[in-house]
Structure 1
């Protein structure tokens, strides 16, 4: 009897995947016509607010997405850039608006370091992925036959990110991309919990990465 009941349930569990929906909005004001040449790009996460931070792994994901699809684009590591420009890009001192570019470049040590790094574009990414609407329950225990869990849980993940492109040559904001993704994940358990995770953050990374590629790459 147990085989008849649990067999189809386990099969459904293995075949089911979390569903994700996403949207991407793009506003580009001054797109390069032939890529960015030998200039470099730095992607930074906004962390000036006290109640959240843009996840470092998301920033790394976007950079990897861009560089893996166009190896001619040089992406400066976020931590290396922040350390090289210390303290100008620490959370309390980082520029918040395009008008701050002039203030930055007026500092000769900053301007010199940016020239050495060949940094033409800086991309600020602001946003976060949050978990919400958890439901269900799960019970685990140890008995004479061994340990096991039984139950079913669900939760939603929502990602919202905005990328703003600053051009150090033109000293202006030249593009903006917004992406959002949402999905429901599941955790069924019949003896062993099996998470079925909706790749919400990864979908948002791909969406924003593709749009930034269209801006930066001569191949798109």
Structure 2
């Protein structure tokens, strides 16, 4: 497990938003020297009734892996889902690697997956949400103009888990998770100045780096 804190300082207000991150990794069968040149797809889990894994977070993870190893081709999530419609929509997406084997019995699915030549399918499950908030702010308009006065703060938490499926041998080969939390601030003396803790960005960096280390021949 790794823990680190990133503090952002706003020069104008001398206030910072701090992010704490924890990363856990459990892999069963890591490539000896990375996957080399190959194709992966990173998909968000959206079957839970109370939340969806954010598409922009999936794009962030994919971009991190692509930039870290140009030999790895990352199929965009929306492109993959559309090309295999309706089998990877939220209500029909496979929840286990064994479910993919059953999908492969359909010629149209088998042909498309064969055409894509996937080495790994990575599922990301989780979300970012605001938690506690406090403070108050008053805004008004007077003879000399408009302005705000006050101070507000709120917490944000991210929790994501990546599950890695190896298409070569039809098995789940690892899980990684990242939990990040941080506090953001909004001081206002005439003009509100938001100081946002990059909680989701830190989660993307943390989880993306772990996936890249697992997959990349350059790690």
**TM-score, reference length from structure 2:** 0.93
Residue equivalent to 1:141: 140
Bigger mean CA offset, 29-38 vs 190-199: 29-38
Bigger mean CA offset, 34-43 vs 79-88: 34-43
Say if 2:59 is the partner of 1:60: yes
C-alpha distance 107-37 of structure 1, shift in aligned 2 (>3 A):
farther
What pairs up with 1:1-220 in 2 under 5 angstroms? Answer: 13-220=12-219
Distance 1:100 1:70 in 2: 30
Higher strand share: 2
Preserved CA contact (<8 Å) 2:23 2:206: yes
Preserved CA contact (<8 Å) 1:131 1:157: yes
Deviations 1:172-196 (A, max 9, x none): 1011001100000000000000000
Distance 2:124 2:144 in 1: 51
Secondary structure, counterpart of 2:13 in structure 1: helix
Distance 1:123 1:179 in 2: 15
Deviations 1:130-160 (A, max 9, x none): 1011100000011111110000000000000
Residue equivalent to 2:5: none
* Structure having the higher Rg: 1
Deviations 1:186-218 (A, max 9, x none): 000000000000000000000000000011100
Preserved CA contact (<8 Å) 1:101 1:168: no
Deviation at 1:12, TM superposition (A): 6.5
Higher helix share: 1
Deviation at 1:13, TM superposition (A): 4.9
- The CA RMSD measured in Å over matched residues stands at 1.2
**TM-score, reference length from structure 1:** 0.92
Secondary structure, counterpart of 2:31 in structure 1: coil
Structure 1: which 5+ runs fail to align? 1-10
Bigger mean CA offset, 105-114 vs 45-54: 105-114
